[in-house]
A = this chain, B = another copy of it.
Amino acid sequence: MDVQVGKQSLQFQKAPYILSSASIVGKKEGEGPLGNCFDVVGDDDKFGQNTWEEAESTLQKEAFGMAVGKAELKKEDIRYLFSGDLLGQNIATSFGLMDYQVPLFGLYGACSTCGEALSLGAMCVAGGYADYVVSMTSSHFASAEKQFRFPLEYANQRPLSATWTVTGSGAYVLGTRRSKARITGITTGKIMDYGVKDSMNMGAAMAPAAADTICSNFRDFHRTPEDYDKIITGDLGTVGQEILIDLLKHEGYDISGVHTDCGIEIYDPKKQGTGAGGSGCGCSAVTLAAHFLPQVEKGKLGRILFVPTGALLSTVSFNEGKSVPGIAHAVVIEHAG
């Protein structure tokens, strides 16, 4: 059977296993509905560092260490690292991971990075290029606000469609050694641009990309929504979810019964004031690790489609009046008996 399926998907013949995962989050995420599920919840969002960027680097450092430890491996066993973050020039990744001295492929997929890192990591292991790799990503509320929006001290108001950047990092060890979950396929996203220019409505900007990738996944694998126990987008939030479900209905697919979104799961918007939901690379990374992957490992979920979503903007592109294009990378994760 061919590994290349359809126009933009791969079905792995030697599907790599997810040996372990780790999640570390900030105080607010710890107070949310998934608070008890994360490996580590910080009291102080600076995580003992002097700057927000150093705090985010610390998240990556800790998540890597925990994931490798849980897989009962040492850092020397990890042949390649696939990681990225939201900050300009990926500084959270570079400064967080450099001490481990593992060959690094730096990635940028905005908040779709967890999907991109898992995809490339899975391709790497399935291709025989490594016995163990780590795929990971992070985001931090305060470093992201500083990067993309206003100084926190300015106390800018936020529209209800805005999302709240998750402080957290999720890391995964992928490898050839058997475990309870494996990545059986991927669908790699194209950039979709419907011309949305509102950086405070990322859900609307990213929903077309999620719809396109999910649709491609169905076509390439000859599947329907019923073939998945859950279809889990990254950080569309409540506004983006509605658009996604609508867009896919126009394509003849009703995912309303199986769809959820990490940005919707991670916070309680009424109690926590988080607007349309959580966002950031860390959002999908920690929610998969802490909430969905354990259910796959236990067999409660047999097959899920995990679709982190990214908004490809910068302050420069925004200030120059450009639109906010989106991208989404899908990963098929199945229970391994």
Contacts and interface: CB of A to CB of B under 8 A. Distances in A.
How many identical chains are in the complex? 2
Contacts of A104: 188-191, 327
B51 A94 contact: no
Nearest to A212: B101
A272 interface: no
A73 interface: no
Contacts of A79: 4, 8
Query: Which secondary structure dominates where chain A touches chain B?
Result: mixed
Contact of A190 (B10, B86, B91, B101): B101
A80 B188 contact: yes
A320 B143 CA distance: 13
Q: Taking each of A79, A94, A127, A312, which has the highest tally of chain B beta carbons within 10 Å of its own beta carbon?
A: A94
Contacts of A320: 51, 53-54
A8 B3 CA distance: 25
A316 B90 CA distance: 11
A109 interface: yes
A98 interface: yes
Contacts of A80: 188
Contact of A312 (B4, B8, B90, B193): B90
A223 to B, nearest CB: 18
Contact of A84 (B53, B86, B108, B146): B108
Contacts of A108: 84, 89-90, 106-108
Interface string A305-325: 000000011111100101001
Contacts of A189: 103-104
7 interchain residue pairs of minimum CB distance: A88-B88, A127-B127, A98-B191, A89-B314, A103-B188, A94-B312, A106-B108
28 contacts: A4-B128, A4-B129, A4-B130, A53-B317, A86-B89, A87-B314, A88-B89, A88-B315, A89-B317, A91-B312, A95-B317, A95-B322, A97-B191, A98-B190, A98-B325, A102-B190, A103-B190, A104-B188, A104-B191, A105-B109, A105-B116, A105-B119, A106-B109, A106-B116, A106-B312, A106-B327, A120-B120, A127-B127
Interface of A: 3-4, 8, 10, 51, 53-54, 79-80, 84, 86-91, 94-95, 97-98, 101-110, 116, 119-120, 123-124, 126-130, 146-147, 188-193, 312-317, 320, 322, 325, 327
